[in-house]
Amino acid sequence: MNLERYITSIRALLLIMVLFSFAGNTIAQTSNDTLNEVKVHGKHKTSNDTKINEFSPGQKVISIDSATLQQYQLQNIANLLSQQEPVFVKSYGMNGLATLNFRGSSAAQSQVMWNGIPIQNAALGIADVSSLPVMLMNKVNIVYGGSSALLGSGNVGGALLLEDDTPVFRNAGNDNTHLSLSIGGGSFSQYMGGFKASTCDSRWYFSASGFGQFGADNFNYTTLQGTHMLMPHDTIHGASGILRAAYKIADKNTISLSAWYQQNDRDIPPALFETYSDKIETDRSLRLVLDWNKQTTSSTWYARSSFIRDEVTYSYEAVQLHTDDIVYQYYQEAGWKKQFDQYGQLLLFIPVQIAWLPLPDSNKAMQQDKIALAGAYDYKQFNNRLDVAANARVEQIIGQGDSVQRRNVFLPGVDASFIIFNWLTVRANAQRSYRAPTLNELYFNPGGNASLRPEQGWSEDAGYTVKAKIGNFALYHDLSVFSRDIHDWILWLGGAIWTPHNIAEVHSRGVETANDLTYSIGKWKLHFGVNTAYVLATTVSSYIYNDGSVGKQIPYTPRYNGQMNISFNYRRFSFNYNHTYTGYRFTTTDESSYLQPYQTGNVQLMYTLSVHRRKWQFTAQCNNIWNEQYQVVASRPMPGTNWLAAFNADLF
C-alpha cells in the first residue's frame, strides 16, 4: 500500500512537470501580462540552511520579517507564532509549557532546530517554545509539512527553524562594533531586558546576546465555582545567553563556535480542579555547536557538531515527589554540495544523532542512535521557472534499552515549483514520514511502553502563490492543500498512570491560506492581512475494539484557526491590530468533551527615531484587549487584558 501511494505521488508530480513544460514554452513566447508583476524568478532565500533554500522548491516555507521580530523582541516564540501564524500553539498557561501543532500533528512530530541542529528534548521529543526568547533569534522560519529526508526522520508535521546571522568580517564598507540594549515591563510584575553585541576584524568575529525576565503572572481568573481569584504560585524568572566566535581561515572558508545556555525557574500554579499547588520546575539547557564551511567555485563543503545537555528538575512537596532528569544529545553532520552547471546541483550529507538518558539510581542508560546517508538533487529549467528536487535518506535507528533494537528505513521525497507567470507560482510536494518512539515513550518509569511501533506514512501538499503589484497596491495570496496518513500514531492514554499506545491510523488533511494587501502612497503604508487554516485530523482505524475515537478529531487539534492583521505606517510610527481565532478543541478521543472557541484582540505600536545616527525604538503591546476568558488547555486559564512596553537603543 505504501509503495502504491509513492508511485501515485510520483506520477502526479511527473504529470504536473509535463504540463509545466508545455506551459513554459508557451509563456516564453506570449508573455504579455496585464498586471505589473513582482519579479519572483528563482527561490527567495529565507534561511541559512542550504537544504531549505536550494533543495526544497515545493515546500511551503514562511519567514517572519524583521519588523515583526522587533515588535516581539522581549516576548517568546510561543506568543509570536500564536498571534502571527496559523500554527496551533498548545499552551498550558502564561508560564507553562507550550508546544507546536503543525497541520494536526502531535508535539513530538514537530521539529525545532537552531542553526541546523535539532534542539528538542531528546527524551521527550518536544521543545517548549515558551522558553525560547525572540530576542536571541535573528531569523525565524517555519517549514510546513514533513521533510524527513532532509530534516530528519522525526520531522512529520513541520519544523521551526531558528538561526543566527552569518558572521560578517570587517571590510571597507561596514562598522566593526555594534551594541544594542532593550528593556521592558508590563502587567503581572513582568520585567525583562536584553542586549546584543558584536565586533569583528578582517579575520575574527565575536558576538554575544543575552535575555533575562521576571514575572509574577498574578492575573485574575474564574474558578469552577464561579469565584474570581488571583492566580497563586505563578512566579517565573529565567535567563538565556548566546556566545559566538568565528574565524575566517581564508576567503569563503570559515569556522565558528556557538554556545547557548538558558535556565528557567517557574512555579506551576494549580489547575482549576486543584485547590493548592507547590509544584516547581527548573529547566536548564546547554547547547554547543561547532560549524565549518568552505566554498569553492562549484562546490561547498560543510561540517557541524553539537552537544546538548537538557536538565529538568521537578518538585512537588505535597506528595514528596522530586525528580531530576538529565538527557544528552550529540549531533554531527557533514555534507558536500556540487553545482554541475546552471541547471543541476547535488547535495550529499551524513547525519549522526546519539541521545542517551542515564537512569536515576542506576549505572544504566537508555540510548537511541540514528545514522543516515542522505542526498538531494535539484534541477532547474526554462530560465529557472521550473525547479524540481528529489531527495532520499537511508537511516538506521538503534535503540538500546533492556535489549538492542535496529530499524532500517528508507525515506524518499520529491517536490517541485513552477513560475507560470511572473506573478503566479505553483508547487507540489510528496514525502514519506517516519518517527521512532522517543526514549520517554519507550522507557519512562512508570508508564513507558517498550513495544511501541514507529509512526510512519506519507504526506502530500500542493499550492500556489500570487505576488503582484497594481499601481500603489501590492497583493500577496498563498493557498495550500495538504494530506497526511500516519500509521501507528502514538497517543498517551490513561488515568493515574499514563502510557503511550499505537492507534492504527490517523488521516490529517486541510487547507491553509495567507492573504496580504498593502497600499502605499507617499509616507503612508496601509496593510490588511488574513491567515486561515482548516485542519481535519481524524482517527481512521484503531487497534482497540469498538474504539469511540474512529472518525473523530484528534484531541487538541482545532479545526479552524486564523489571524487577521490591520496596520498602518506613517514615517517613524506604526500601528497594528491583530485578531486571532481558535476553534473548538476536543479534549477526549471520542469528542465527548471539548473547549469553547476563543478570540483575542491584540494591539502593537512602534515608534522609531534616529539619535546621533543611531536607531531608537519604542514599542508597546496590549494583549487580549477584549478581556476574553479562555483556556487553550483544559483547566489552565489564560490571562485577560495585559500590556507590555519596551525600549530598544542602538548605542554604537
pLDDT band of residue 170 (cuts 50, 70, 90) is confident
Question: Mean of the pLDDT values across residues 172-182?
Answer: 80
**How far is the C-alpha of 423 from the C-alpha of 401, rounded, in Å?**
54
* Percentages of the chain per state (helix, strand, coil), in multiples of 5: 10, 60, 30
Return the pLDDT at 631: 96
- pLDDT surpassing 50 at residue 251: yes
Return the pLDDT at 337: 97
**How far is the C-alpha of 107 from the C-alpha of 642, rounded, in Å?**
28
Question: Mean of the pLDDT values across residues 31-46?
Answer: 40
Beta strands in 542-652, from DSSP E residues, in sequence order: 560-570, 573-582, 585-586, 594-595, 598-611, 614-623, 631-633, 636-637, 642-650
DSSP letters of 262-294?
A: EEEEEEEPPPTT-S---EEEEEEEEEEEEEEEE
Q: What is the dihedral of CA 621, 623, 626, 629, to 10 degrees?
A: -170
Range scoring the smallest mean pLDDT among 90-94, 98-102, 425-429: 90-94
Residue in the block written with cell 500564536: 82
Q: Are residues 106 and 157 in contact, defined by beta-carbon separation less than 8 angstroms?
A: yes
pLDDT tens by residue, 455-494:
999 999 999 999 999 999 999 999 999 999 999 999 988 7
**How far is the C-alpha of 206 from the C-alpha of 135, rounded, in Å?**
18
Question: Mean of the pLDDT values across residues 588-602?
Answer: 95
Beta-bridge mates of residue 258: 244, 289
Higher per-residue confidence, 283 vs 13: 283
